[in-house]
Amino acid sequence: MIIFFLYIKKIGAVDLANDSKNIGSIVERYSKALLELSIESKNMEEVQKDIQNIMDLIETSEDFRRVLKSPILSRNDQKQIIEKVFSKISISKMVLKFFIVVSTNRRSFIIDRICKRFLEMEKDYKGEVRAEIISTEAPEKDILSKIEKIIKDTIKSEVNLTYKIDKSIIGGYILNIGSVMLDGSIKSKLQGLRVLMKGTK
């Protein structure tokens, strides 16, 4: 375990030499390191709950988001704030230590992205299929549950269904299941109609 955290610190040392164009790959490395740590410690379920709690905190607290993104706060200040805040939401010592290392490496501003990517990796590891429904307004929970069950029964696999609001589709929906997209949006139908009308000229 100690060797593993030394490895994470090494990631940070390499990262500091990279510019912002490589942030995506940096997020990937930290997320993968956290996944491997959760597998090695045999605490994946606990880590998943911790990460979800952190995500919920980031989404609901604008002040905390500012702390994570602040270029003014010193490394030590960010570390102390993260340690204090995470301790209050009952984060395990292992996950707390992981993000303290991330903060020490001056990567607090990507903690939200590390959490999001970890949850995606964790679902992939468990063999879950990710699905997303895009609509102009938030669907009701019972509707989401029914859609999730239909997808699950159809593809014979565990499904993690999320939703996204996008007013630009005008109406209808877009359903992404893995790499497959089912586009039932009004925007798509209008675009198809425009193509058809051009073909008749």
Query: Which range, 9-18, 107-116, 138-147, is most confident?
Result: 107-116
Asked whether the predicted pLDDT for residue 17 surpasses 80, the reply is no
54-68, 104-118, 171-185: lowest mean pLDDT where? 171-185
Q: How far is CA 62 from the centre of its chain?
A: 18
Examine the domain organization and report whether 105 and 39 are in the same domain: yes
Q: Which of 102, 125, 148 is the last residue of a domain?
A: 125
Answer yes or no: do 83 and 24 share one domain: yes
Residue 55 has what pLDDT? 93
pLDDT, tens only, 129-170: 888 889 988 888 888 888 888 888 877 778 888 888 998 988
Is the CB of residue 16 less than 8 Å from the CB of residue 105?
A: yes
pLDDT tens-place string over residues 44-102: 889 999 999 999 999 999 998 898 888 888 888 888 888 888 888 888 989 999 999 99
* Statement to judge: residues 63 and 157 lie in one domain: no
- Domain co-membership, 194 together with 98: no
| pLDDT at residue 190 in the model | 74
Check whether residue 66 and residue 28 sit in a common domain: yes
- Given 82, 102, 125, the domain boundary residue is 125
Does one domain contain both 121 and 146? no
Long-range contacts of 170-178 (CB under 8 A, 24+ apart): 170/136, 171/136, 172/135, 173/133, 173/134, 173/135, 174/133, 174/134, 174/135, 175/131, 175/132, 175/133, 175/134, 175/147, 176/131, 176/132, 176/133, 176/134, 177/129, 177/131, 177/151, 178/129, 178/130, 178/131
Q: Is the pLDDT of residue 116 over 90?
A: yes
What is the extent of the structural domain holding 161?
128-199
CATH of the domain at 167: 3.30.360
Pair 32, 109 in one domain: yes
Asked if residue 56 and residue 94 are part of one domain, the reply reads: yes
The count of structural domains within the chain is: 2
What are the pLDDT digits (tens) for 29-55?
999 999 988 888 888 889 999 999 999
102 shares its domain with 78: yes
At residue 148, the pLDDT reads 87
Average model confidence (pLDDT) for the chain? 82
Instruction: Select from 125, 154, 180 the last residue of a domain.
Output: 125
In terms of DSSP bridges, do strands 129-135 and 174-177 run parallel, antiparallel, or are they unpaired? antiparallel
- Answer whether 114's CB lies under 8 Å from 95's CB: no
Three-state secondary structure string covering 132-146? EEEECCCCCHHHHHH
